[in-house]
Amino acid sequence: MPNPPRLEIRNIRRSFDGLPVVDDVSLSVMPGQVTCLLGPSGCGKSTTLRIIAGVDMQDSGEIYVDGQLVCDTVYRVPPEGRSIGLMFQDFALFPHLSVAGNVAFGLKGDKQDQRRRVEELLDKVDMLRHIDSYPHELSGGEQQRVALARALAPRPRIMLMDEPFSGLDNRLRDGIRDQTLEVLKDEGAAVLLVTHEPAEAMRMADEIALMRRGKIVQQGAPYNVYNAPVDKSAAAFFSDINVIHGKVQGALVETAFGQFFAPGQADGTDVDIVIRPQHLRIDFDRHGRGPNPTVGDGAPARGIVTRSRFMGAESLVEFKMDFDGSVLKAQVPNVFLPKPGTALWLMMRRDRCFVYPVKK
């Protein structure tokens, strides 16, 4: 018989003043797995985290830890009995305690064992040299690492993290994320991380649960969620998108970029064809003198450059399309800054397009 998930929530609901904030949410996290609850502000992800932690109470639904019920509408294990570590945007270190005192705060038992655990974790987060320092002597990134060590010190079975990196400087954030992920994996806890940043979820997660208006609308590995978004809004949450409108006839959509398959869509259905800017291909070979079709890129369509911007590793070029006056964006590697008014031919990678019915 397979082992149960370390954390499992079933059909959790929570409303405030009659408004559903968490609406029938279910998910599970295995030991050593990092799952990200990803979504915009107000989608219910932080409320879900508070319910799991035990600091808020669901209206209905159940929470299990290692297959054992810890909370439903009748039975409730208090927060301190759930073996959960918490880490928030506000690190909330105790200012009157040293780094060692902060990390040891939740530990019990033999003092020597406590000291060994403190030193072990501070070494993992590269803060052992600051063991006798106080919070006011540390940078934001250093305080974050101490907060992580403190949360992990009692060896929780589950780690709940609510936007823990959002207060850090951008230049430090990626390094701190990577170090945090390494420590979490080494400790083996099940991790549920709340974030509104797709890049953070993609970087940290084994699995992403995308939330919208209190519901999980899509769940899966980062590659699958990014490359097979459930709808147009899901695609747009991860990156800029271009949208081309069409109508289905015989399981095909006819556009200025050629025909696109629309499996499962009835004839006459209005659809949106979605493609990300990096998959809109510019024809460089003829520089506007005509199309240069490539297998898989569909038919060419002409556009006039309205704006081009250098973004560092790539350039972003905006076009006003001849066929309907719509604005499309193409992301091009390296430096490509055509002047406004330049005519270029564009093609769409068929294998990177998504077709969705237009919501009425």
Predicted confidence (pLDDT) per residue in 182-207, tens digit: 999 999 999 999 999 999 999 999 99
Packed helices 170-187 and 140-152: angle between N→C axes, nearest 10 degrees? 10
Confidence band, pLDDT 50/70/90 cuts, at residue 174: confident
User: What ranges do the domains of the chain cover?
Assistant: 7-236, 240-357
Q: Judge whether 89 and 38 are in contact, CB under 8 Å.
A: no
| pLDDT class of 295 with cuts at 50, 70, 90 | very low
> What is the pLDDT at residue 161?
94
* pLDDT at residue 297, as a whole number: 65
Two domains, one topology: 7-236 and 240-357: no
355 pLDDT higher than 80: yes
Q: What percent of the chain has pLDDT over 90?
A: 78
By three-state DSSP, how is residue 356 classified? strand
Whether residue 290 is predicted with pLDDT greater than 50 in this model: the reply is no
Q: Quote the pLDDT of residue 286.
A: 52
pLDDT digit string (tens) for 38-75? Answer: 999 999 999 999 999 999 999 999 999 999 999 999 99
Give the pLDDT score at 90. 76
Question: 279: closest CA among 322, 244, 320?
Answer: 244
pLDDT at 263: 86
Q: Average of pLDDT values for 209-237?
A: 97
CATH fold of 240-357: OB fold (Dihydrolipoamide Acetyltransferase, E2P) (2.40.50)
What does DSSP say about strands 343-348 and 252-255: parallel, antiparallel, or unpaired?
Answer: unpaired
* Euclidean distance between CA atoms 133 and 136, whole angstroms: 8
pTM to 2 decimal places = 0.89
Does residue 170 register a pLDDT over 50? yes
pLDDT at 92: 83
Over residues 89-110, the pLDDT tens digits come to: 777 899 999 999 999 998 988 9
- Give whole-number Cα distances, 108 to 26, 103, 104, 128, in Å: 34, 12, 8, 21
Taking the C-alpha atoms of residue 221 and residue 51, their distance in angstroms, rounded to an integer, is 24
Place of tokens 């159940």: 62
pLDDT of 109 reads: 87
**Nearest CA-CA partner of 35 in 183, 195, 170, 176:** 195
Residue 37: per-residue pLDDT = 98
Q: Which residue has the tokens 């460089």?
A: 284
* Residue 345: exposure state from Cβ atoms within 10 A (0-12, 13-18, ≥19): buried
Bridge partners (DSSP) listed for residue 246: 271
C-alpha triplet 221, 226, 227: angle, nearest 5°: 100
pLDDT above 70: residue 294:
no
The confidence band for 169, taking pLDDT boundaries of 50, 70 and 90, is confident
For domain 7-236, give its CATH number from 3.40.50.300, 3.30.465.10, 3.50.50.60, 3.40.50.1240: 3.40.50.300
- Segment 14-41, tens digit of pLDDT: 999 999 999 999 999 999 999 999 999 9
pLDDT for residue 288: 43
22 in Cβ contact with 13 (< 8 Å): yes
Q: 3-class SS at 156?
A: coil
- The C-alpha atoms of residue 186 and residue 201 are separated, in whole angstroms, by 19
- What 3-state DSSP class applies to 181? helix
Q: What average pLDDT does the segment 149-170 reach?
A: 89
- Where would I find the beta strands (DSSP E) of 264-342? 270-275, 280-282, 301-310, 314-321, 327-333
